[in-house]
Amino acid sequence: MFPPAGSARASSAGAANDSQLLSGRGVGPAAERIDVPSTVVVGSQWGDEGKGRVVDLLSADADLVVRYQGGNNAGHTVWVGEERYAFHLIPTGILRGKLSMLGAGMVIDASVLLQEADELSSRGVPVHGNLRLSENAHLILPYHKVMEAAEEERRGAQAIGTTRRGIGPAYEDKVARRGIRVGDLRDADGLARKLDDVLAYKNTIIERVYELPALNRDEIYEDLRAKYARFKDWICDTSTLVLDALCSKKKVLFEGAHGTMLDIDWGTYPYVTSSNPLSGAVCAGAGVGPKWIDRIIGVAKAYTTRVGAGPFPTKQPEIAHIIRDLGGEYGTTTGRARDVGWLDCVVLRKSARLNGLDSLAITHLDVLGQFDEIPVCVAYRCDGHEISEFPNDLDTLSRCRPVYENLPGWKSDISGLQTSADLPEKAKRYLNRLSELVGAPVSHVLVGRRRGQDIIL
């Protein structure tokens, strides 16, 4: 029989008993080994699961941290003591002085890249010398942002609720084979020709379809040349560096952005982002073969959040005021208040399957310490039937209602705990039940927003 979800490795944990899971003996073979050369950290819900925190934790032990998709629609927050750091383009690993790469699957806004690098440098983070930027990554240009804003307005009530950072239009141009890549900046004349060509096309749409003023080619060109002069030393073929690192047994961490349910192919389309956050995208986005991936950790909140439009079956507006402040549930990129709901194990099962999760890193467990009872969605009821798989089409999904199981709350502050043995029994029970429902063991539990507030199982 096929395992219920997740990878064959992970599914064995579904049968593990409580003590096995929490002592770590239930952890899949790859997740058990701390010394694996490569690890992927992937968001398992709709983004903002706490990937930044998990990457910060794991990068202490990494040599190289690589982003493989997305752009500055991502916002990964790390608190070190009272200092807050927010990462949008630059991998979170830079905070620990690790070599940090922006892979070919990313889309790069040169202004944001330089701003972020300058801000981090001014705060003493060792950025220069530690950054590498793929020559194959595509550039986000001013017309992408103008067209995205116009397109969101045109959609009206059907707007996606994007971050308006030009991400979707930049990926559109990549796929249409009219994108301008980071490596194109090296050739001044070639860049001018490419920009002339693409801007003639873009300005026709901007003026005639959206009835907005045309963009000035010289301004865009001069700005790009000036920015290129500042980051040209970071540009290289990042794929060969990653392979060199793996061949010499260095530890490589692949930092996912967004979340599985925002995946362009497998998420709640069209309410998704324009790239593949899935672990499988590491290969194309970072330029490594699948055999080099050793371990895949899915990050999930102990509840669920979503920002932007689109379906959210377990959404609970009435608990948002309790959870939002404790969990920092305001967008790191846009500042928008996130919608909040109970944990959805139907979502997590899909995520475990699509990503081949070896284990789960559960964040924000501390935030649930307020509740007498904590509902967990175990299945959906749709057209009179109970279903355990997340539907791929939104029409079916709109007819689904969550089926909840109520688990007892632990009603205490767990944010200072250091070991799994210290966790209240009811918190352990919560973790074990979710692990069983998802079919993947829990390898990490995060109990606060600060570095150090974590428990490794």
**CA angle, 448 as apex, 447 and 454 as ends, to 5°?**
50
Residue 24 interacting with ligand GDP (CB under 6 A): no
What is the 3-state composition of the chain as percent helix, strand, coil, each rounded to the nearest 5?
40, 20, 40
Bridge partner residues of 70 (DSSP): 106
For position 327 contacting Mg ion by CB under 5 A, the verdict is no
Cβ-based nearer residue to ligand GDP, 38 or 332 = 332
Nearest partner of 59 among 285, 293, 253, judged by Cα: 253
Q: What is the DSSP string of 226-293?
A: HHHHHHGGGEE-HHHHHHHHHHTT--EEEE--S-GGG-TTTSSTTSS-SS--STTHHIIIII--GGG-
Q: How many other CB atoms are found less than 10 A from the CB of residue 356?
A: 20
Q: Of 327, 341, 375, 391, which lies in the binding site for ligand GDP, with binding defined by CB under 6 A?
A: 327
Sole binder of ligand GDP in the list 101, 113, 147, 367 (CB under 6 A):
367
Minimal distance in Å, beta carbon 290 to ligand GDP?
A: 24
Q: Which is nearer to ligand IMO, 52 or 441 (CB)?
A: 52
Of 48, 173, 184, 344, catalytic: 48
**Contacted by 328, from ligand GDP, Mg ion, ligand IMO, none: CB < 5 to 8 Å by type:** ligand GDP
Q: Does 332 bind Mg ion (CB under 5 A)?
A: yes
Mask for 387-426, x = binds ligand GDP (CB under 6 A): ----------------------------------------
Q: Which of 7, 260, 274, 363 binds ligand GDP (CB under 6 A)?
A: 363
- Least distance CB 186 / Mg ion (angstroms): 32
Between CA 119 and CA 132 the distance in angstroms is 17
User: For residues 261 and 354, what is the distance between their CA atoms, to the nearest angstrom?
Assistant: 10
Active site residue 48: yes
> What residues contact 248, with CB distance under 8 A and at least 6 apart?
none
- Give the closest residue to 296 by CA, choosing from 213, 352, 379: 352
Judge whether 363 and 446 are in contact, CB under 8 Å. yes
State yes or no: is 196 an active-site residue: no
DSSP character string of 227-243: HHHHHGGGEE-HHHHHH
State phi, psi for 179 to the nearest 5 degrees: -75, 160
The residues in 29-48 that bind ligand GDP, with binding defined as CB under 6 A, are 43, 47-48
Start-to-end CA distance of the chain, whole Å, equals 29
Under rule CB under 6 A, which residues in 63-92 are in contact with ligand GDP?
Answer: 75-77, 79
Q: Per CB under 6 A, does 50 bind ligand GDP?
A: yes
With contacts defined by CB under 6 A, name the span among 159-167, 186-194, 214-222, 238-246 that binds ligand IMO.
159-167
Cβ contact 276:69 at 8 Å: yes
Catalytic residue among 76, 138, 144, 444: 76
Query: Which residue, 170 or 378, has its beta carbon nearer to ligand IMO?
Result: 170
Nearer Cβ to ligand IMO (339/366): 339
Whether the CA torsion 91, 297, 168, 192 is positive or negative: it is positive
Contact in structure between 359 and 441 (CB atoms under 8 Å): yes
What is the nearest approach in angstroms of Mg ion to the Cβ of residue 75? 4
134 touches which of ligand GDP, Mg ion, ligand IMO, none (CB within 5 to 8 A by kind)?
Answer: none
Is 256 among the residues that bind Mg ion (CB under 5 A)? no
Which residue lies nearer to ligand GDP by CB, 147 or 340?
340
Considering the rule CB under 6 A, would residue 449 count as an interface residue with ligand IMO? no
> Is residue 262 a contact point for ligand IMO (CB under 6 A)?
yes
Fill in the amino acid letter for 147. Answer: M
Q: How far apart are CA 388 and CA 403, in angstroms?
A: 10
Per CB under 6 A, the list member of 105, 142, 308, 356 interacting with ligand IMO is: 308
Residue 48 touches Mg ion, criterion: CB under 5 A: yes
- Judged by the rule CB under 5 A, the positions of this chain that interact with Mg ion are 48, 75, 332
Catalytic positions, please?
48, 76
- Judged by the rule CB under 6 A, the positions of this chain that interact with ligand IMO are 43, 47-48, 73-76, 160-163, 165, 167-168, 257-259, 262, 273-274, 307-308, 332
